[in-house]
Amino acid sequence: MFSKSANFYNALYGSMGKDYVAEAQKAHTLIQQHKRTSGNTLLEVACGTGLHASVFREFYLVEGLDLDDEMLAVARQSYPDIPFHQADMVDFGLGKQFDAITCLFSSIGYVKTTARLARAIQTMTNHLLPGGVLVVEPWFAPDQFNVGDVFSLFVDQPDLKVCRMSLGEVEENLSILTFHYMVGTPQSVENFKERHELGLFTQEEYIEAFRKARLEITHDPEGLDGRGLYIGLKP
């Protein structure tokens, strides 16, 4: 996934103004509104480089989980006090349960299929305490993803220059993003690509996955950053 770009991932999204602090604080407020447990443990699934987790630790005993070992290497170096686990969100098993679980920044799209979506939601539900809350930020729905739109991000720091461009495509129920990078450092200028495939799920498919896991579901159409949120309470 982001293995080749992990070391400048934070710089890329910082350049576009992504506000991890505001997003995590808003997610915390929603968690407190919905959860029925008295504890304060939180698992961040698809935690990436740990930026949301670093804010959540102000309110919770936080752990993180991600599939990408390069992203986790950055997270562990930046936040050595947070436990991070390498595993797939679809079928991980940590042997413990949490008061809250989050899966943010549309990472749920990487499950690709509705069957794997249902398995991921069930796996996360299995790791929730009764009365605990699952918060999932969705990827685009099929009618929201625009084929042919060109996206670009730029980093302009003294010792790091990055240009990332992508063109969206659709293959069946998958959105395809091929990121083209040009990266300049004092040592070299490098070009490489990353291919990302994310499932395009409808609102009904998300709701069905939550219902299969027997969660009481609330849909927030605005969410943290305009993409909406699905909030599930475990009875």
Say yes or no to pLDDT of 179 above 80. yes
Q: What is the mean pLDDT of residues 95-107?
A: 98
Of the pLDDT bands very low, low, confident and very high (cuts 50, 70, 90), residue 114 is: very high
- Quick one: pLDDT at residue 177? 95
Q: Which residue has the higher pLDDT, 116 or 4?
A: 116
- Quick one: pLDDT at residue 2? 80
Q: What is the mean pLDDT of residues 171-187?
A: 96
* Crossing angle of helices 114-126 and 203-212, rounded to 10°: 40
- Quick one: pLDDT at residue 148? 86
pTM score > 0.95 for this model?
A: yes
Q: How far apart are CA 200 and CA 179, in angstroms?
A: 18
> For the chain, how are helix, strand and coil distributed in percent, rounded to 5?
30, 35, 35
- Under 8 Å between Cβ of 181 and 162: yes
Domains, the chain: 3-141+201-233 (3.40.50.150), 150-199 (2.20.130.10)
- Quick one: pLDDT at residue 1? 73
Of the pLDDT bands very low, low, confident and very high (cuts 50, 70, 90), residue 24 is: very high
- Quick one: pLDDT at residue 149? 87
Say yes or no to pLDDT of 197 above 80. yes
Helices (H), the chain: 9-15, 20-34, 51-56, 69-78, 114-126, 203-212
Say yes or no to pLDDT of 204 above 90. yes
- Quick one: pLDDT at residue 4? 86
Say yes or no to pLDDT of 31 above 90. yes
Say yes or no to pLDDT of 3 above 90. no
**CA dihedral in degrees (62, 93, 100, 63; nearest 10)?**
10
